[in-house]
């Protein structure tokens, strides 16, 4: 039925639409700082950790910033993001996400989550799905953000599964790179032009089917 022993999911943009909340919070910050910001540029931020994203945004601003100023900005963005997350509940799973988790569990595979977000556990709790994962690797557990493979390799190690036996699911180019460089098979969720390195691309989680991936 499937050759995989585990599936490792990204969170933001795969399980729930928090990618939209990150976008809105970064957009407000970028506008206030006079840095150009649109959906296309935002694609480069997906899967990138908070300070890394801020650096990319501020590199396009008309002035420079001290480290202390950057921390203030990152904190303000995070508070805005957390206000948006506080409105979430179990109805905010992306269509198809719960079915995918059920399908993977039903097939007897392990389920991991790999998110560079420091808010990953809060989001899982708002969605009421923390206990659906055998292991969660968040920002606190890794030294290198995506596209580095550390986060997916750590998840595979925690699950006790060889990376070659893992399927990774991602909505970000940086995330797909992380999966591929970990030696896993990648399913990209979204735009084929953005997710070119993925082995399989689906337009949304509604199209996730384990049997389609070998
Ligand atoms: C990733 C998102 O999952 O987490 C990025 O794709 C985000 O957009 C990153 O910047 C860090 O999130 P947080 O919650 O730690 O600021
Ligand atoms: Mg994502």
pLDDT of residue 1: 78
82 lines ligand 1 (CB under 6 A): no
What residues have a C-beta under 5 A from ligand 2, the ion?
A: 10, 12-13, 171-172
Q: How far apart (Å, rounded) are the C-alpha atoms in residues 122 and 131?
A: 13
Q: Is 45 in the pocket of ligand 1 (CB under 6 A)?
A: yes
Closest CA to 143 of 157, 130, 154, 159: 154
The per-residue pLDDT string of the chain (214 residues; one tens digit each, 9 = 90 and over) reads 799 999 999 999 999 999 999 999 999 999 999 999 999 999 999 999 999 999 999 999 999 999 999 999 999 999 999 999 999 999 999 999 999 999 999 999 999 999 999 999 999 999 999 999 999 999 999 999 999 999 999 999 999 999 999 999 999 999 999 999 999 999 999 999 999 999 999 999 999 999 999 8
- Does 42 sit in the ligand 1 pocket, CB within 6 Å? no
Is 10 known to be catalytic?
yes
Residue 38 annotated to the active site: no
Q: Any residues with CB less than 8 A from the CB of 111 and at least 6 apart, and which?
A: 6, 7, 8, 9, 101, 104, 105, 132, 133, 134
Q: Whose CA is nearest to atom 16 of ligand 1?
A: 50
The CA distance from 155 to 135, in Å, is 7
Instruction: Tell me how long the chain is.
Output: 214
CA distance 98 to 95: 8
Closest CA to 128 of 103, 91, 164: 91
Helices in the chain by DSSP H: which ranges? 18-33, 39-43, 50-58, 67-85, 97-106, 120-127, 150-159, 173-181
């Amino acid at each position: 039925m499937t050759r995989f022993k585990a599936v490792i999911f990204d969170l933001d943009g795969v399980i729930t639409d928090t990618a939209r909340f990150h976008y809105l919070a970064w957009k407000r910050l970028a506008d206030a700082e006079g840095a150009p910001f649109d959906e296309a540029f935002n694609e480069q931020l997906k899967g990138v950790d908070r300070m890394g994203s801020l650096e990319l945004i501020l590199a396009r601003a008309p002035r420079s910033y001290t480290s202390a100023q950057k921390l203030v900005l990152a904190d303000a963005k995070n508070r805005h993001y957390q206000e948006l997350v506080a409105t979430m509940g179990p109805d905010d799973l992306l269509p198809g996400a719960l079915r995918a988790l059920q399908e993977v569990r039903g097939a007897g595979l392990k389920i991991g989550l790999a998110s560079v977000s420091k808010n990953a556990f809060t989001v899982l709790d708002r969605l009421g799905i923390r206990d659906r994962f055998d292991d969660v690797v968040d920002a606190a557990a890794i030294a290198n953000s995506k596209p580095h493979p550390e986060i997916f390799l750590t998840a595979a190690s925690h699950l006790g599964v060889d990376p070659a036996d893992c399927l990774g699911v991602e909505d970000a180019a940086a995330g797909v790179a992380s999966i591929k460089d970990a030696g896993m098979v990648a399913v990209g969720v979204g735009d084929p032009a953005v997710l070119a390195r993925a082995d399989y691309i689906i337009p949304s989680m509604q199209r996730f089917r384990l049997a389609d991936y070998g």
